[in-house]
């Protein structure tokens, strides 16, 4: 068998089903210009991926393999490879609309072998008794728990493969006349420092092992480092979902309560599952006709972290500076964006998509629909976070706020959670809140009621 191993969201050699297939192989990674052309020239994710691709290349070389790196349209690349006599291309499945359409087109060129690697379950595994997909998380979760088996935690062992003879130097372009180049900022000091923080998966797992017992109680608190920090590894496959499940199983045997974190992993699967079965969710409401009010000035204030709401501005600044945002703050910001500002959730989703290093289409889209109250979710539209109560509860001493909004470091802590104080008093170099939360909440409720 002569096959192409297409690495995508599985940038590792450990526990990788691609490396368990055997035969003669051409390992490839493609910088897809259909995706890259829509990104800014300094997109940090491209730089992160490039760094991981180079690490993958070195890891493959230790096994007598290599990685051919392409730049271009995947269809052009596979059309050029068809003449080389390959029997098939193997890759892990991806569920967003573009990926599914692209993979179908590739399958018309070469036989396409789908491998389940990115998520715990295949999209058709956890269904209702009548064969239709679940629309509510809790029954999906219960069915998934009952269905989970050792097979879902199976570790793929490397099988000796024969490397296809070709040049593995540099980046190969099919369109030799193209002047496009990779949008990299990998030389920036900020980016290099951030890479150091997210580089060592084993170190993060060890730290998370120490925090796991307190995960359920502490994960939402902004001054505690209680989250796993593994979302970017799951997004790009530098850690396999199966090895993470094995890690949790080992901790469970030690008496640690792993259920809260396991539930989050099932949520991740559920969102991917929904996007697979209902691709229109990527751009359209599942319920309620209200699609927000387009207001570019409000949108700019949010994106530039000048809303005057401390926890919201802190979250946006964290995102812009690091490519990350605490999960609780993501929910606070999304609620403020869609309810207090009444902006279209699609705008907020696109903003997060532009800057999040761990951007996952399914998780981001469905989370924004959850916050907007428009998604496949039993919760009604009147779920609206009060950002001041949220910051008072989860950032009581305003450590998070003051870290990311230095203009507020000299302001008394309790005043940073007090909307009335912020509305009445001028703080040097910091704006007053752009909306009154109660008024904005009432307006949002009126809009949603009228569009039911």
State the average pLDDT for the chain. 91
pLDDT of residue 196: 46
Report how far residue 442's alpha carbon sits from residue 216's, in angstroms, rounded to the nearest whole number.
32
CA atoms within 13 A of residue 302's CA, in its CB half-sphere = 27
pLDDT of residue 288: 81
Classify 165 in phi/psi space as left (phi over 0), alpha (psi -120 to 50) or beta. beta
Q: Locate CATH 3.40.50.620 in the chain.
A: 1-116
CA nearest 395: which of 316, 329, 318, 308? Answer: 329
- Kindly report the pTM of this predicted structure: 0.91
pLDDT of residue 45: 83
Q: Locate CATH 1.25.40.80 in the chain.
A: 119-152+192-277
Q: Locate CATH 1.10.579.10 in the chain.
A: 296-450
Q: What are phi and psi of 362, to 5 degrees?
A: -65, -50
pLDDT of residue 191: 47
pLDDT of residue 427: 96
DSSP 430: B
**3-class state of residue 425 by DSSP:** coil
Show the tokens assigned to 349: 């989703």
Cβ neighbours for 231, distance < 8 A, ≥ 6 positions apart? 358, 360
Query: Which residues of the chain carry a pLDDT beneath 50?
Result: 188-189, 191-193, 196
What is the torsion angle, in degrees rounded to the nearest 10, for the CA atoms of residue 288, residue 290, residue 296 and residue 301? Answer: -60
pLDDT of residue 312: 98
DSSP 304: T
Show the tokens assigned to 99: 């990926």
Show the tokens assigned to 174: 């099919």
Report how far residue 15's alpha carbon sits from residue 110's, in angstroms, rounded to the nearest whole number.
25
The CATH homologous superfamily for domain 1-116 is: HUPs (3.40.50.620)
List alpha helices for 67-188, DSSP H: 74-82, 97-107, 137-147
Percent helix, strand, coil in the chain (nearest 5)?
50, 10, 40
Report how far residue 82's alpha carbon sits from residue 88's, in angstroms, rounded to the nearest whole number.
9
Report how far residue 448's alpha carbon sits from residue 334's, in angstroms, rounded to the nearest whole number.
16
What is the torsion angle, in degrees rounded to the nearest 10, for the CA atoms of residue 145, residue 147, residue 150 and residue 154? Answer: -100
Show the tokens assigned to 188: 């920036």
CA nearest 311: which of 222, 219, 437? Answer: 222
Alpha-carbon separation of residue 175 from 33, 76, 99, 179 (angstroms): 11, 9, 22, 9
Show the tokens assigned to 37: 């052309």
CA nearest 27: which of 86, 102, 98? Answer: 86
Q: Parallel, antiparallel, or unpaired for β 68-72 and 24-32?
A: parallel
Task: Evaluate whether the domain defined by 296-450 bears CATH number 3.40.50.740.
Answer: no
242-275 core/surface letters (b: 16 or more CB in 10 A; e: else): bbbbbbbeebeeeeeebeebbeebbbbbbbbbbb
Question: Which residue shows structure tokens 């728990």?
Answer: 145
Task: Report the top-level CATH class of 119-152+192-277.
Answer: mainly alpha
Task: Give 36: exposed, middle or buried? Use CB within 10 Å, 0-12, 13-18, 19+.
Answer: middle
**3-class state of residue 154 by DSSP:** coil
pLDDT of residue 364: 95
Helix axes 387-394, 310-322, angle to 10 degrees: 70
């Amino acid at each position: 068998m002569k096959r192409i191993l297409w690495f995508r969201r599985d940038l590792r050699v450990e526990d990788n089903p691609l490396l368990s297939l055997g035969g003669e192989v051409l390992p490839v990674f493609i910088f897809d210009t259909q995706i890259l052309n829509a990104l800014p020239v300094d997109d940090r994710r491209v730089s992160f991926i490039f760094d991981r691709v180079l690490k993958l290349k070195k890891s493959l070389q230790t096994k007598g393999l290599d990685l051919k790196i392409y730049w271009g349209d995947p269809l052009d690349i596979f059309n050029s490879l068809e003449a080389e006599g390959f029997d098939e291309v193997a890759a892990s499945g991806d569920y967003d609309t573009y990926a599914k359409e692209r993979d179908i087109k590739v399958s018309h060129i070469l036989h396409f072998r789908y491998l389940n690697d990115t998520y715990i379950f295949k999209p058709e595994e956890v269904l209702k008794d009548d064969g239709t997909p679940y629309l509510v998380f809790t029954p999906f979760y219960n069915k998934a728990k009952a269905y989970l088996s050792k097979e879902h935690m199976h570790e793929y062992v490397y099988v000796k493969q024969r490397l296809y003879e070709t040049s593995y130097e540099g980046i190969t372009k099919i369109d030799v006349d193209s002047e496009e180049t990779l949008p990299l900022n990998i030389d920036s000091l900020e980016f290099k420092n951030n890479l150091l923080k997210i580089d060592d998966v084993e170190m993060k797992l060890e730290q998370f092992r120490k925090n796991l017992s307190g995960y359920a109680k502490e994960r939402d608190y902004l001054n505690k480092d209680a989250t796993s920090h593994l979302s970017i590894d799951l997004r790009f496959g530098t850690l396999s979902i199966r090895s993470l499940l094995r890690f949790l199983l080992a901790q469970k045997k030690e008496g640690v309560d792993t259920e809260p974190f396991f539930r989050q992993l099932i949520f991740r699967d559920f969102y991917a599952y929904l996007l697979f079965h209902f691709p229109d969710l990527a751009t359209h409401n599942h319920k309620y006709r209200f699609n927000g009010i387009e207001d570019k000035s409000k949108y700019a204030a949010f994106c530039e972290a000048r809303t005057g709401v401390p926890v919201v501005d802190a979250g946006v600044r964290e995102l812009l500076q690091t490519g990350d945002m605490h999960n609780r703050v993501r929910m606070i910001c999304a609620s403020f964006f869609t309810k207090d500002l009444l902006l279209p959730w699609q705008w907020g989703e696109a903003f997060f998509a532009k800057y999040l290093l761990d951007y996952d289409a399914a998780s981001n889209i469905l989370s924004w629909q959850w916050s907007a109250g428009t998604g496949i979710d039993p919760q009604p539209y009147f779920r609206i976070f009060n950002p001041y109560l949220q910051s008072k509860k989860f950032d009581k001493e305003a450590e998070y706020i003051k870290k990311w909004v230095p203009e507020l470091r000299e302001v008394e802590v309790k005043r940073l959670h007090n909307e009335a104080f912020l509305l009445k008093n001028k703080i040097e170099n910091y704006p007053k809140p752009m909306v009154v939360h109660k008024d904005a909440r009432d307006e949002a409720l009126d809009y949603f009621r009228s569009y039911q």
